[in-house]
Structure 1
């Protein structure tokens, strides 16, 4: 399925997540499995934002954020992590769709300023794909998820800026990002004006086989440390700090730019600036943010 591209509509605004004209809808974040058996993913190409974070055993997981447009189906959906709660505070009161969590984490999810949406909270919004094996077969209907939570806030400024690229940068056609047990590669396509995505050495594709790319990739260097939680097999869950400050690499327009990021507290926006202190503009369109250990 091709990505759903926001269409300019009279009277609508500009998405703070993509910089494109769009209907500004309620925010829906979906936690998506990202082991090889969970691919190809459905609906990630339609997200406004795609966050990648580290989970147990050095693997990665995706948090896809939707507001401008909703695909018919997203998944496979998997469990939430403590890091998601801090990351999502800057979005206001979004919906977080996920499947399960550790028992000890449930009180934190309940007290977080978001609308938690596991399958038991909205059974009509989730389905199992009989052609896939559990646990990689749970999918979300985003429209039904939104309908189940009428109080979710609409997209608001989280600090991103869009516009022409800054001066400087280095011309590159490839950039690799490595997690302890997962790899991502971004290759520039001048024809498509996108960074084409590969995961674990394979081209990232939709279920229909179309390759997936993105105009902007942000590699945000953060602190990642063990949390107090473990999974069912005893592996410690890492905690990804998204409050603080640090360095980043921004890929856009076939160039790589060094940048700094800052988020003073959990309620604050995440701002990206050039090394000269000017706003670091992203290219309009979907943004990928990879939260990597310093």
Structure 2
């Protein structure tokens, strides 16, 4: 007899018990739990599973790029200040003797060199890029000028003429000659009591030479910072010689410049401006007689060798920094380093470079 028939012969109480057993046996094997109710039927007491929401990933914020600081605008590499000049660089040979003073426009030059001529006398090479004033009094070139100026590139060299082989050497260089004796335009003479022949001037704004070079670095490191100067000697005045000519400068704290002094007198340009500079560079060089250019008195011109290396003393901010200079090739700029081998920086605003012979005394205090 099957299970259903047996249950049919049972009493009511027996049927209830049997039903519960059957339910447990049949359904319990499936792993579910049931409860009996009064009418003998059964319902699940297990709660329906609750769905758990999967959290959405949180987007990471996109990092904001920090803009790089703007590069400072380029400045004139020959002064370390002001905008880069757009016109040609013009070097001018200017008289540096008593009959040639007061000089014209030299206070507006970016860089000025004092070099030997002959017979112990000096001449200046004034380099103009920022301003193009009337310049004078213009004199003749010397054989060593192309070597000195080639570091600037193919710039213009203005001169009244040139003795001996000076013009031949100039023509063979990368420089652009602009020579009065050859008929180049713009030169004129002025009446002056100091001299009847040292009187040639030229408005530099009128000079136009196709292909003339523009301002570029010649190795100077410009910095307004005076860091480290406190450890260097104070030098509010300096004195040396170029050839047989005394050269001196005195520091003016108000101007923050060294003023040129000759025989105790502060020098002024023809316009009354004090001739002064933030930096004086005394560069000691080999100097030798140049037999290819001898003056009417039998004095050979002196050739200053500006390619090579040697000692240097740089005066800035009322202090003196001793070191060495180096210029390995004629096309190279000139670099200056201190005793530790670090570059010597100069104050923005231009410089005067005194090209003294090796071994010349230099005093400062």
TM-score relative to the length of structure 1: 0.91
Tell me the residue number matched to 1:289.
353
Query: Is the CA contact (8 Å cut-off) linking 1:182 and 1:200 kept in structure 2?
Result: no
Query: Is the CA contact (8 Å cut-off) linking 2:107 and 2:273 kept in structure 1?
Result: no
Distance apart, 1:201 and its partner CA: 3.6
Distance apart, 1:102 and its partner CA: 1.3
Q: 1:250 to 1:115 in 2, by over 3 A?
A: same
Which shifted more, 132-141 or 74-83? 132-141
The alignment status of 1:249 with 2:320, answered yes or no, reads no
Deviations 1:143-166 (A, max 9, x none): 112x2x031011111100011245
Distance apart, 1:183 and its partner CA: 1.3
The 3-state SS of whatever aligns with 1:82 is coil
1:113 aligns with one of 155, 174, 185: 174
Tell me the distance in 1 between the aligned counterparts of 2:165 and 2:260: 35
Give matches, 1:24-35, under 5 Å: 24=85, 25-35=87-97
Which shifted more, 30-39 or 12-21? 12-21
The 3-state SS of whatever aligns with 1:56 is coil
The alignment status of 1:232 with 2:287, answered yes or no, reads no
2:242 aligns with one of 168, 174, 179: 179
Query: Is the CA contact (8 Å cut-off) linking 1:50 and 1:65 kept in structure 2?
Result: yes
Tell me the residue number matched to 2:132.
70
2:187 aligns with one of 119, 122, 126: 126
Q: 1:129 to 1:26 in 2, by over 3 A?
A: same
Tell me the distance in 2 between the aligned counterparts of 1:127 and 1:84: 23
Deviations 1:146-196 (A, max 9, x none): x2x031011111100011245231112111121342112111111110111
Tell me the residue number matched to 1:143.
205
| Alignment: residue pair count | 281
Distance apart, 1:43 and its partner CA: 0.4
Tell me the distance in 2 between the aligned counterparts of 1:190 and 1:141: 33
The 3-state SS of whatever aligns with 1:178 is strand
Deviations 1:82-104 (A, max 9, x none): 11010111111010000111143
Tell me the residue number matched to 2:257.
194
Distance apart, 1:12 and its partner CA: 6.9
Tell me the distance in 1 between the aligned counterparts of 2:128 and 2:239: 26
Query: Is the CA contact (8 Å cut-off) linking 2:110 and 2:351 kept in structure 1?
Result: yes
Tell me the distance in 2 between the aligned counterparts of 1:209 and 1:67: 21
Tell me the residue number matched to 1:158.
218
The 3-state SS of whatever aligns with 1:57 is coil
Query: Is the CA contact (8 Å cut-off) linking 1:184 and 1:201 kept in structure 2?
Result: no
Tell me the residue number matched to 2:8.
none
Tell me the distance in 1 between the aligned counterparts of 2:355 and 2:327: 14
1:278 aligns with one of 336, 342, 345: 342
Query: Is the CA contact (8 Å cut-off) linking 2:285 and 2:305 kept in structure 1?
Result: yes
Gaps of 5+ in 1: 1-10
Structure scoring higher RCO (CA < 8 A, sep ≥ 6) equals 1
TM-score relative to the length of structure 2: 0.74
Gaps of 5+ in 2: 1-71, 359-365
Query: Is the CA contact (8 Å cut-off) linking 1:48 and 1:287 kept in structure 2?
Result: yes
Tell me the distance in 1 between the aligned counterparts of 2:263 and 2:242: 10
Tell me the distance in 2 between the aligned counterparts of 1:274 and 1:103: 39
Distance apart, 1:134 and its partner CA: 3.1
Tell me the distance in 1 between the aligned counterparts of 2:270 and 2:220: 30
Tell me the residue number matched to 1:212.
275
The alignment's C-alpha RMSD in Å is 1.6
Deviations 1:42-99 (A, max 9, x none): 100000000000111111110000111212x100000000110101111110100001
The 3-state SS of whatever aligns with 2:221 is coil
The alignment status of 1:54 with 2:116, answered yes or no, reads yes
